Structure 1
């Protein structure tokens, strides 16, 4: 068995009993407890609270279509196809995923500048100045108003991420600060969803006090097509940074040239790193996460949800190396899917980095690809925040120097989530000093985990006992679904740790050292608290009582905006009665209509609205299609005669039903603009708008027509026209009314059943008329001929068989397996996916005749084309252009194998130009 360090690193710490590479002694205390007595409120202002819009349930488009249209006639495949047209539904990035405050130390002074997003939409850069005076922190904001300093430039976009980069040459800065001038101490980067903005931070001091801080806007970059995923400053060159987009594109920006130009606001272009990611990863799976600089200014680490890459741009073409794969980390549990979610640089040399997945925290070395140095099972829920500190920064100013070697050589990873308010500390370093393993690890440059992961309470108020933790979770579950527990509990939005130089001036030496935290709360408070290193968690009885009290009595925080002012406008509510829609969805429309009819019949003075001229108008429309009063229902072949473009079985059935409605029912389906009833809306009577019935021959319900010419507001000059409009009543309502007109019994009346039966009849006729011509495989051999008991015989037995059935490839063989309803039949899908159309007669029977008019357009089209304007000019020039286009189209069709198969199956004759 292989007992090398590489083999040991495959076992995650805290997931197995007695894991390898775990050291628990001679490292000093690794648990950090907050001191309740040091909790100090530094500043409070509404400008520090983000005032986010209220959260809504995360319901994807596909899930919405499936849940809201389960009882409708929208096919499952149609729902999925609609949702896929919008691409991957990724929720908007939350501003609570990142640290909302950044600390920038002012060299040569005892001051720190705290940056944070502010403004009504968190679209401005705000800052306050913290200065240490007599072991106390003094906060300086803008004058006596108590508000904060704000950069002059307003971004007009919500800030999602802030990053600072100090200038490294502190000695030069300290010597230059003696002069009465402004000195640049660092740079600030602000990321929005689609833009990046750069600022320069300058200070001016007099004697030993900081006089002024200025934040200058340098420029911005707008990415129009892709959102910004992450950005990072270079630790090697303070003026350079890298921006990662959601498409995987990397841009390198250099601010040096912009800083030398004054008075100009530039739109940065940046240098795009040419990387062909499709050679290394499937871009359709997963998403890009983060980027960090490595040991060289031109080497960048890029994290994807499935892989971590090392990009070397020192040469003309970027070389890409895979450092880590998520598939290799789940070998211990192959049934569990995992993905990377966070990345951070570890250490100052740039060789080490740490990456977190849903279940693991991994420490890696760029010099050892695909081989983790250490692994932990973190046990946190969606930890999207990760940062690394030197252990000497967390155990600074100790009384006991016994563990100084461990503090100087150890590191601590803080992993957690601001959304869930859960953070843990993971310490690591070389092996125990004085043992053989320590000497071996010192030469092999490897690390051991120091102790198990420990919880870190950034809020400084929590109690770690099991009773309090369980009670808090129960209190969250007890809240209603529409109330987020973050709105009821004060949470941490961001934090920063003072460096050792300022920590010495703030508190007395501790037994094993500690650190001071500056944190921003959701209530708009800026607080400071000291944490001390200890061997075990403190039993804080005051925090226990405070937590128990806060659980029973929640107080509203200012995390989500609920409106700063009272609503000063009159409130008006309009209600719509959707009883007809509900009856149609539940298939009990007959009961609803019967109840409505009984109420109308009881009203006194009821008059018949039908008129003779209206009957004549409807009759003339139907006679144009061969329908007469003597037929109770039009022959299906009569409907097929007017089908030129591909039409579904469902639409043909609707047209046939429309043609078979009695005149008394049609009076309800159509009306004139002057007879439409007006509806009271906003204290004004308005009439609804419907489409005019076309004059040219179309079958009801007239799908192809122009909008009506009526105006939204009638006046005394413009009166309503007498044009016939409609339909104004849905077909399912008319089907039920016809059944009620023919019979008095209402039990068993179903518009859905009636429509399904009619679709079956249309399907049988369509199979017969199409199969007799082409021998298509769509013909159902077990179909019963309508010639036995209907009057369709004379139409089916004609010699001219000119119809063809077509099923789009997208629907072929898929809908029957997608439909989630086990009781649905194949006909439920076929009536929407099976299309029928009539071949052009002249194309079939007179294909060798010379044609020179608009009928030429039917030559290469399987179906008949109809033109509204038959008087179009079609001369020699047009004919020459037409032949050129047809020749190109013919070459395309001959090279398209699928179309050739379809043409031969449908028995289309070949045409010559």
Structure 2
């Protein structure tokens, strides 16, 4: 079938079967090799510095409106308010992570046999950092400042620089005599800044001088570019669609008066200026005329003609044109760039397609490719001669001169593809290489898109790709693998003249790439043109993928002294417990369990004696076949939930050999981690107070992972190192429980059984506050009946059992001990009522201990340091506070009624 030239592009490359816009495979050998592979032997480390890294950034996985609505539980933000705030903050807060690394962080400026490299630096990337690469003979020399660090230039702003653009000055220009070799344009979120690049030949030192800037207070900067026609002109596009033209000639003449640039606002009558429904202004470029511009929005590409008196705006391309090739309606434009062979051509990339267009043909792209990349935001068009320079033979010299390559990709995803195009083959028979048709102005795709490895150290064979995907899947869900892998943050291609001085020519030529890695390294590597894509790299094949060595965002100026790594701990047991599969997982892990603790190693006598002493102090002996349940209430001094009491009973009933698995000396845990070259987990030390596990009063150990003395750590017993559900399952395994294999044993049911037992006993030994009593419903009844009594009924009960009104979620006040609601097991509280006693007055000079606080309230207080004494001014201050508290208690009717009901008489103490 014969297609006209205008209809060829409606069959996209990589989607259509034999697209007519793609040169036939039989004719491609006449074009020369179009695939570029890195040469591993040419990898050269140039420089390393933390100043090359971006500042630390926290990337939200939620959109800004969703993040605001879910991050402030104390003072929630209404969804409508959050959405309005998000709309005012600009498109950089949208849920598009690729936009964070949208721009190339390296910018090159050539001067003689040198290349000046520019990049954002400092703590917030608010300064312009730079250094020089000099080619001397066949060697590359790096020029830094006198301290061996990069050069820095203040930008006049505290905002982070997102992009730097450089433009050289023609050597024949008169301004060359003033040592100025180029200009820089640095754009931030709300401003643009201009610099002049100078080189002092006598001092052989580069410098960057700040010229001025413009702050846009009402809108963000979407894009900025230099004019290819007039050296001193630049264009800035705002996210509102406004365009500003800046002329450096005017400001160079008046630089002494004002460094605040104003610019000329271009009055562009946008006919489709409504940016609702997620429409975002993307980019702007100069076309073939100094006053003809190409402006891209996420849905439309405009041609703005300012050459006449009236501004004329026309539509070049609409995103609806791509809907015939994709089932989704969410397609939008992402990037725009100028293209060769002249100023009439431009390229635009969308979510799924790359289009080469001509400003003279509206709504008719010349070539379309399906790129298959993830949100590509970086695009650059290069002449093929730049990528196939310094070759040993000139067979394909002319095709290199008329061919072009589009480099499209994303620094965030680390994927870049090359798209080659150029003049069409002559219709008549003949050799394209020997006698091309210079009058043929039509353009065709020369090759299918292919991936180029910019990092230069990846092996793309099937085994390595599979390992990489498995390593990504092994990371936790909240961590992006991009944050853990060494990535390319920026790159530049050295000039052909300089590259030819550094390396030997290759058969079909190649190019020299200078790249910036996320580890802070600057590297140089040579790429060569090839007929086939080398997917397997022998140097990288056996290395594998390491996702725990690098962090993408690290802190800037200060040199990082420690190993950049993060230790991940497997939480599979916690996840299994949360899902109710803990029993199955533990049985699976312990296929050959060792029942005898002596086979695992010697018993630590210190830990054994410590645990026995702790249990004996709480009335639970070492032989705990059937300990009295009342013993577990002796530890209840402050208010505690019945669930906590049930857990203490379960802890105390475990055998000592299992308890010793949960407690250890802190020094042994540190030594064991040091022997295995791991980081020891920090655990709290066990308190010396007489209490049962899991212990209420805790403190940090006297030493930590870093710099401890063994003498200090020997006395610290830390734990629990294993949670109670694990120990309960181990206990059942040791006892040979048959329900484990069937998965019938449940830790939750075991805890619920103890909870019911504790609740029943608590009802017998405690006085319950009934809901029928007039206490303002501040407390409600827990249980009123009990089958068993553990204390003399003629005496006042020493415990008070209640449920706070704040925990009352249902209409009933009682808790049925036969049915357990997992959401209310912490609602039933019990505390020990202070015994009635008389505190005699002491002399003012005598120190008084913690017993002075016995008459503060009904609850018996416990102090971690009972030996502390009050005397002097502290004693007087304490008496004043007690007097104020007593006055407040007398004004609370519910408290007076409660103390009267239980016969509580305020003791006679100091100050009363």
Same fold (TM over 0.5): yes
Q: Among 446, 449, 467, which residue is 2:445 paired with?
A: 449
Q: Give secondary structure in 1 for the equivalent of 2:217.
A: coil
Shift of 1:49: 1.4
Shift of 1:321: 0.8
Aligned to 1:164: 166
Q: Give secondary structure in 1 for the equivalent of 2:417.
A: strand
Distance 2:211 2:380 in 1: 28
Gaps of 5+ in 1: 607-674, 678-715, 729-733, 735-913
Aligned to 1:842: none
Shift of 1:83: 3.5
Shift of 1:368: 0.3
Q: Give secondary structure in 1 for the equivalent of 2:62.
A: coil
Aligned to 1:124: 127
Aligned to 2:20: 20
Distance 1:98 1:255 in 2: 24
Q: Give secondary structure in 2 for the equivalent of 1:163.
A: strand
TM-score, normalisation: structure 1: 0.60
Determine whether 1:8 maps to 2:8: yes
Q: Among 318, 322, 334, which residue is 1:329 paired with?
A: 322
Gaps of 5+ in 2: 563-681, 685-695, 697-802, 816-822, 837-856, 860-879, 895-912
Task: Say if 1:295 and 1:565 are closer, same or farther in 2 by CA, change over 3 A.
Answer: same
Q: Give secondary structure in 1 for the equivalent of 2:228.
A: coil
TM-score, normalisation: structure 2: 0.60
Judge conservation of contact 2:487–2:552 (CA < 8 Å) in 1.
Answer: no
Q: Among 128, 144, 148, which residue is 1:146 paired with?
A: 148
Distance 1:549 1:81 in 2: 51
Aligned to 1:603: 833
Task: Say if 1:64 and 1:215 are closer, same or farther in 2 by CA, change over 3 A.
Answer: closer
Distance 1:435 1:588 in 2: 95
Distance 1:286 1:555 in 2: 39
Aligned to 2:377: 384
Question: Deviations along 1:784-829, whole A, 9 cap, x unmatched?
Answer: xxxxxxxxxxxxxxxxxxxxxxxxxxxxxxxxxxxxxxxxxxxxxx
Q: Among 96, 104, 112, which residue is 1:99 paired with?
A: 104
Task: Say if 1:102 and 1:59 are closer, same or farther in 2 by CA, change over 3 A.
Answer: same
Aligned to 2:568: none
Task: Say if 1:45 and 1:440 are closer, same or farther in 2 by CA, change over 3 A.
Answer: closer
Aligned to 2:116: 113
Aligned to 1:537: 533
Q: Give secondary structure in 1 for the equivalent of 2:201.
A: strand
Give the 5 Å matches for 1:9-408. 9-23=9-23, 24=25, 25=28, 26-62=30-66, 65=69, 80-88=79-87, 90-92=91-93, 94-106=99-111, 109-143=112-146, 145-153=147-155, 155-167=157-169, 169-172=170-173, 182-205=178-201, 211-279=204-272, 281-347=274-340, 349-408=342-401
Question: Deviations along 1:26-81, whole A, 9 cap, x unmatched?
Answer: 11100001111111111111111113224332244347748999xx999xxx9543
Judge conservation of contact 1:394–1:515 (CA < 8 Å) in 2.
Answer: yes
How many residue pairs get aligned? The number is 602
Distance 1:54 1:73 in 2: 22
Distance 2:887 2:261 in 1: 60
Task: Say if 1:116 and 1:603 are closer, same or farther in 2 by CA, change over 3 A.
Answer: same
Distance 2:11 2:71 in 1: 43
Distance 2:427 2:828 in 1: 96
Question: Deviations along 1:527-586, whole A, 9 cap, x unmatched?
Answer: 1111110001236543343xx4241574124633499699xxxx9x9x9xxx99996899
Distance 2:521 2:102 in 1: 19
Aligned to 2:490: 494
Shift of 1:172: 4.0
Task: Say if 1:267 and 1:398 are closer, same or farther in 2 by CA, change over 3 A.
Answer: same
Task: Say if 1:472 and 1:421 are closer, same or farther in 2 by CA, change over 3 A.
Answer: same
Aligned to 1:638: none
Give the 5 Å matches for 1:827-842. none
RMSD over aligned Cα atoms: 4.3
Task: Say if 1:73 and 1:525 are closer, same or farther in 2 by CA, change over 3 A.
Answer: closer
Task: Say if 1:201 and 1:553 are closer, same or farther in 2 by CA, change over 3 A.
Answer: closer
Task: Say if 1:260 and 1:443 are closer, same or farther in 2 by CA, change over 3 A.
Answer: same
Distance 1:525 1:305 in 2: 35
Task: Say if 1:349 and 1:598 are closer, same or farther in 2 by CA, change over 3 A.
Answer: closer
Shift of 1:125: 0.2
Shift of 1:197: 0.9
Q: Give secondary structure in 1 for the equivalent of 2:400.
A: helix
Distance 2:18 2:373 in 1: 21
Shift of 1:510: 1.1
Distance 2:194 2:225 in 1: 12
Task: Say if 1:517 and 1:552 are closer, same or farther in 2 by CA, change over 3 A.
Answer: closer
Task: Say if 1:433 and 1:64 are closer, same or farther in 2 by CA, change over 3 A.
Answer: same
Aligned to 2:459: 463
Aligned to 2:868: none
Task: Say if 1:42 and 1:435 are closer, same or farther in 2 by CA, change over 3 A.
Answer: farther
